[in-house]
Amino acid sequence: MTDARSPLLTPDVPRRSRGGSNSYSAISNWEAAKIDMKYVLYSSPLNILLLFVPLGLIWGYFELSHTYVFIFNFLAIIPLAAILAYATEELADKAGSTVGGLLNATFGNAVELIVSIIALKEGQVRIVQASMLGSLLSNLLLVLGFCFVFGGYNRIQQKFNQTAAQTMSSLLAISCASLLIPAAFKATLPEGKEDWIVNEKILELSRGTSIILLLVYVFFLAFQLGSHHDLFEEQMEETDEVLSQYSSKPEHTLSIRSSLLFLLGATVVISICADYLVGTIDNIVESTGLSKTFIGLIVIPIVGNAAEHVTSVLVAMKDKMDLALSVAIGSSLQISLFVTPFMVLVGWMIDVPMTLNFSTFETATLFIAVFLSNYLILDGESNWLEGVMSLSMYLLIALAFFYYPDVDTFGKS
């Protein structure tokens, strides 16, 4: 799986056969809606957190405790992201393989996009930059580490397709290197340039780089959905087979109308919760002493990636490491090739100076994450100790950012 959510992200719901569908002719629309609602609610164990949705909305609307507004809406977005992925998968099943793949690629990172767009509108550029970097780090170190640990604790070694893993990791290295160029550009500029000139050049460089990365992403989609479609389709079917073993629920499929309604409803509620969440960040920074960088880099990525992380671990436990790696690395590709450059262009449209200029410390941690992940998968084998190494590196980076102060990438601390 190369897009962040092309396999089903709700681990306890089996994949329905593509030709199967429920007959609604004998029941009313209301009864059909209740049945659909039941299956959506039971589609993931994460949906127990839906209890926090009304709490987050109430606390946010009445502007009660900023801390509880942040916590409630943070927890509320996690199950809403799982429902969004479920509805997207149901809709993709009925749209055909190519259109379905495009739907998964488009809505695969909908939560990250919604939160980031709202944060940009609020002028929270540091939050957006940190959350993009945090998503990359969590997939490359945290998810990969959990996959190696849970997949290898009762096995001597786990093997995976070395060529496929190296191809994806090479593309990831190129995309991450493109993200590092603006920071290197600024760090190596000769002294004496006025700040506004430097900032303007970095902004223009970031926008040009973003356009190139988005073009690469289009070619990557053509590779995934066109010339090498059979390879990725096989991976999706194997993933569905693995995930179906974790559930004994009867088969059920949503209609196109129901899928669209759940997709629209989840998107609207996520937008509201994200608005309340982002609106409290400044207060959380003041009351807790945490930096915006730490909140964006460590805390926010959990919102959109929780269900996806569960999927990776489940397939790794079934000794399907090729699939686990495709989830982790594929999601990182989505972030680096699509979400991050897209947010730069969104900032351009709404006149917010979103750039690809990360701080020197952030670029160093990103380089370490890419280097370590590539090194661990270089031999085509993994074990639980390699997972411990990956998790340890993530904890070291998280600890460092806990103490690291906010830095304005336009040059101010």
pLDDT digits (tens, 9 = 90+) for 208-254: 999 998 998 888 888 777 766 665 555 555 555 555 555 444 466 77
pTM for the predicted model, two decimal places: 0.79
Q: The tokens of 330 are what?
A: 């594929």
Query: What is the structure's pLDDT at 87?
Result: 83
On whether residue 318 sits in a domain, the answer given is yes
How far is the C-alpha of 156 from the C-alpha of 135, rounded, in Å? 30
Q: The tokens of 94 are what?
A: 């009925």
On whether residue 303 sits in a domain, the answer given is yes
Q: Which residues of the chain have pLDDT under 50?
A: 1-26, 247-250, 410-413
Write out the residue range of the structural domain in which residue 150 sits. Answer: 29-403
On whether residue 18 sits in a domain, the answer given is no
On whether residue 9 sits in a domain, the answer given is no
Q: In CATH, what number is assigned to the domain containing residue 385?
A: 1.20.1420.30
Q: What are phi and psi of 158, to 5 degrees?
A: -115, 135
Widest pairwise Cα distance in the chain = 77
Query: What is the structure's pLDDT at 58?
Result: 94
Domain total in the chain: 1
The DSSP output letter for 8 is -
Query: What is the structure's pLDDT at 69?
Result: 93
On whether residue 7 sits in a domain, the answer given is no
Q: What are phi and psi of 194, to 5 degrees?
A: -70, 150
Q: Is the dihedral of CA 201, 202, 207, 208 positive or negative?
A: positive
What's the CA dihedral at 92, 94, 99, 102 to 10 degrees? 0
Closest CA to 256 of 6, 17, 22: 22
Q: Is the dihedral of CA 130, 169, 397, 413 positive or negative?
A: negative
On whether residue 277 sits in a domain, the answer given is yes
Cross-strand pairs, 382: 158
Query: What is the structure's pLDDT at 199?
Result: 81
Strand intervals (E) in 225-292 = none
Residues in Cβ contact with 134 at an 8 Å cutoff, skipping those fewer than 6 apart? 296, 297, 298, 300, 301
On whether residue 20 sits in a domain, the answer given is no
Closest CA to 406 of 69, 130, 158: 130
On whether residue 363 sits in a domain, the answer given is yes
Query: What is the structure's pLDDT at 245?
Result: 56
Query: What is the structure's pLDDT at 315?
Result: 81
Query: What is the structure's pLDDT at 388?
Result: 94
